[in-house]
Chains A and B, each alone.
Chain A
């Protein structure tokens, strides 16, 4: 069974540029999460989807961040414009209804560097 797939793995951009991250969750996992992880910290939830519905986006900086999961499968997270403080690893995770929210499967992440 394939795991959570993310692309790109690495991205370097200039500040004020836009950037997008893509995630394909494990087949059959209806819950999808985007996290941001700063160096030396634990992951912090940005947004959680149940199928195509964003059920918790309270931590998403909506002035510059947006996300979508149009068909309830893969998802895209966008930052426009990027700021220096956005440099971090962006992790996507998914979970199945049977396993609950406590057992999440993470992708390898996208390491974003904003110069």
Chain B
């Protein structure tokens, strides 16, 4: 089977840095993806880690440690528009999503 665990909600202030963790249990490993979803919107792909280490894309970075079955999404210089749900996901042809972390950015 496959499952991904992430915190249900996180709150931070504008300009701060926030880290959203994801731990996974998989029968086989296919890398870890992150998606952002604004309220009422479509999930949008943010990043993918196939190997251990850090991937950086602008203000967002994602990290993976396969030995620890653990990854995180790091958001820097938080903006109000970053308020959304963030999902980690893994799988080959069958992508399994975590329950999502609702990020609230306060002024």
Range of interface residues on B (Cβ < 8 Å): 20 to 34
Q: Smallest CB–CB gap between B83 and chain A, Å?
A: 16
Contact with B along A78-105 (1 / 0, CB 8 A): 0000000000000101000000011111
When distances are taken between beta carbons in the complex, the residues of chain A under 8 Å from B21 are: none
Q: Are A103 and B33 in contact (CB under 8 A)?
A: yes
Q: Quick check: is A72 within 8 A (CB to CB) of the other chain?
A: no
- A34 within 8 A of partner (CB): no
B91 touches A101 (CB 8 A): yes
Query: Chain A: which residue is nearest B42 at the CB level?
Result: A106
Nearest A-chain residue to B30, judged by Cβ: A102
On chain A, the residues within 8 Å of B42 by CB distance are 4, 91, 106-109
Contact partners of A105 in chain B: CB under 8 A: 45
Q: How far is the CB of A83 from chain B (nearest CB, A)?
A: 23
The segment from B52-60, B63-71, B97-105 that touches chain A is B97-105
Contact A101 B43 (CB under 8 A): no
When C-beta atoms are compared, the residue in chain A nearest to B43 turns out to be A106
Q: Which of A42, A45, A56, A106 lies in contact with B99, CB distance below 8 A? A: A42
